[in-house]
A and B are shown apart, each in its own frame.
Chain A
Amino acid sequence: MGYVKLPIGPQHPALKEPENFTITLDGERVVNVDIRIGYIHRGIEKLMETRTYTQNLYLVERICGICSYAHVYNFTQNVEEILGLQIPKRAEYIRTLFLELERLHSHFLWLGVAGHEIGFDTLFMYTWQDREVVQDLLEMISGNRVNYAMNAIGGVRRDVSQEHRKKVLESMDYLEKRAEFYKNVAINEKTILARAENVGILKPQVALRLTAVGPTARASGISVDIRKDDPYASYLDTPFEVITTDTNDVLGRVVVRVLEIVESIKIIRYLMEHLPEGDILKKAPRKIPEGESISHTEAPRGEDIHYLHSNGTEKPDRYKVRTPTLANLPATAEMLKETYLADVPIIVAAIDPCMGCMDRVLLLKDGQEKPGELISGEQLRRYGIKWYAERGWNA
């Protein structure tokens, strides 16, 4: 019946967030994929310029619902860098604890989502049940379940008590057993293997050329992990290994994530056993001196880069975020080539996409992408004022 164009998205059960994958099909085989982004651009970067640094702590957290802490960590690291503020060691440990707890719950969540994409709802229910254990820990320590509001500029806002430590260590024992169980399921369950093995191949050279990051790159045998390559927080103290596999397929991405769960548990155990005494917060001024800073962390999905330019006021002058999903999208288009329609959801899910975090504005002219023009910040500001004035709105 010739080629059929199947629109996956902007609204589709396989995608949790609205983006468009137009797939050209020859029967069940994928001939071509056209990825179009820009459906949920939220303008957070611009909005941040209108708020104080304290208020931005909570806005920057809302870039992503899953890896919220990686973003807020980047933000505080940037601000502290410009201030030249050295935060207390105990605060650094608590921040690392949160980064790792977040990786745990993100990877459990991803395992479930991947299971759901291939119709394995039972796996989905079980992993989310275990994720709940991590969420309870986060809730217990920070008071919130998703956007923890844990960081302040100069440290953390809440301390980890002796009781919390015991509870965290107990939960880690339980989660370690569960991670072992999921590893066994992932590499021994025939139906999962049928759907994951040799699916969504990404060769190491291609992964490098297309700037894949995080577990996606590590599953292609590229040992890239910001925690090791450019240690931040207290990763220099903690012993852990960078997990890589060389299968280059979806199964490799599953295995990498399950083994990273085990590594995270190891890190958390170390942190809880070696938690130093001391303060958790240093007072920081409201006004940040002029300067610029760039910070990158290993979010659960890969390298997350934040850039801050300050101008000596209470508010940032420019803020820029590049989340891991944007870096992984070109590789996704490559992975989707020459696959089956049935593999599309799991391949897209395998990069653990977070569309809302990465979205960019896309200018369209007659349905085609407009070639970009480079304009200065000042020009953009004037354009904005004009745009609002033309419509009679208050800028």
Chain B
Amino acid sequence: MERIDILLSIVYLLLFPGFLFLFAFSLFTEYLDRKIYARIQRRVGPPFLQPFADLVKLSAKEDIVPEKAEHFMFTAAPLIGLAAIFAAFLYLPIVSTTGLHSFNGDLVVVLYLLTIPTLAMFLGGWYSGNVFGQKGGMRVASLLFSYEIPFFLALLTPALLQGSWKMADITRFEATHPLEFVVSLLGFFIGLIALQGKLERLPFDIPEAETEIVAGPLVEYSGRRLALFRLARDAEMVVGAGLIAVVFLAGPEPILPLEPVYLSWLVAALVFLLKTLFVIFLLILLKSAVARIRTDQMISFAYQWLIPLTLVQIFIAIIVRFFGGI
């Protein structure tokens, strides 16, 4: 019996819905991102396997560590980022109400793990020894708090409403109380905007601003390391969108008690996928018709609009809870 458990855990960890699944889904998301963006712009867009082909091609390219770069940190940065994302993914409930492991406070752990790729980006840029990379790294670091605080606070709203820091409880609660989504609607959109900032996509792609600082922190990266960074970026999008889907849209719930149990897992995963894709679709729309804003504008936007609105949302949540909940 124990043996089967271990085997299942390994399958969960490596194949489905573990690393391989995340890998494939991340590439698929990149494809969708590029394709829909292209279609909005009335272009044809890339073929289905293009993101995978890009990854393979990049991996085969020459990998250069600049002489001025700090070798260890330069190499470690993409790995740290990718590892954090993959670790965060395991906590998301996908096939059942719990992830690989569920405990009170797993929401906070995922939120923390999602911050690490940003730090990896900063470190990679800072230690690349290139003035564009350092400038980009500085921008990453200075923007960190402008989206991280609203993201944290917005995602904690449902937890406040329900009174638990456990994702399994939150999804359960949401599945039984659909009105909860209406109460936390504001938080949902704030979460989306903050996630866009976290992923450094338009209009917040300030650290990478191609026409200003070339590629920012990634300017010296090439070959395998660049491929890892790009994969980490795609995976971050999946995990970030998945987290929003779990926290606001009840993730894989409602779970149907089907026989055999595998079937119910599959249906749950499908529901989760659809919700994640919906969030990703909104993210793509968000980037398709805006210009990049400036660092100072983003910071003032965050402190003048995002954070006060998040506080309003939390206030609403507290009031609703005070008057007996939903």
Give me the interface of A with B, judged by CB distance under 8 Å: 4-7, 12-14, 25, 28, 115-123, 125-126, 129, 189, 191-192, 194-195, 340-345
Contact = CB atoms under 8 A, between A and B. Distances in A.
Contacts of B132: 6
A331 to B, nearest CB: 21
A304 to B, nearest CB: 27
A36 B174 CA distance: 62
A14 B211 contact: yes
Contact of A195 (B134, B288, B293): B293
B1 interface: no
Contacts of B290: 120, 189, 191
B203 interface: yes
B296 interface: yes
Contacts of A28: 294-296
9 contacts: A12-B214, A13-B210, A119-B203, A191-B203, A194-B294, A341-B135, A342-B212, A342-B292, A344-B212
Interface in B276-306: 288-297
A340 B296 contact: yes
A194 B293 contact: yes
B291 A118 contact: yes
Interface stretch (B17-25, B36-44, B50-58, B78-86): B36-44
Contacts, number: 82
A116 B211 contact: yes
Contacts of B294: 28, 194-195, 340, 342-343
Given A13-B214, A117-B211, A342-B209, A122 B131 contact: no
A175 B83 CA distance: 51
B123 interface: no
A119 B205 contact: yes
Q: Which 6 A-B pairs have the closest CB atoms?
A: A119-B292, A125-B41, A120-B291, A191-B291, A14-B211, A118-B291
B110 interface: no
B228 interface: no
Contact of B131 (A4, A118, A195): A4
A324 B213 CA distance: 27
Interface of B: 40-43, 131-132, 134-135, 202-203, 205-206, 209-214, 288-297
A295 to B, nearest CB: 36
A115 B291 contact: yes
A145 to B, nearest CB: 20
Given A119-B209, A119-B211, A342-B209, A191 B293 contact: yes
A7 B205 CA distance: 21
A197 to B, nearest CB: 11
B265 to A, nearest CB: 40
A30 to B, nearest CB: 12
Nearest to A12: B214
Given A117-B211, A118-B291, A119-B203, 7 more contacts: A4-B135, A13-B214, A116-B211, A118-B292, A189-B291, A191-B291, A341-B135
B85 to A, nearest CB: 25
A192 B292 CA distance: 8
A342 B295 contact: yes
Contacts of A195: 291-294
Given A6-B131, A6-B135, A122-B41, A14 B212 contact: yes
A345 B211 contact: yes
A196 to B, nearest CB: 9
Contacts of A6: 131-132, 135, 213
Nearest to A349: B211
Contacts of A194: 291, 293-294, 297
A11 to B, nearest CB: 10
Contacts of A129: 42
Contacts of A25: 135
B292 A340 contact: no
Contacts of B210: 13, 119
B220 to A, nearest CB: 15
A212 B147 CA distance: 41
Contacts of B40: 122
A344 to B, nearest CB: 7
A340 B291 contact: no
Contacts of B206: 342
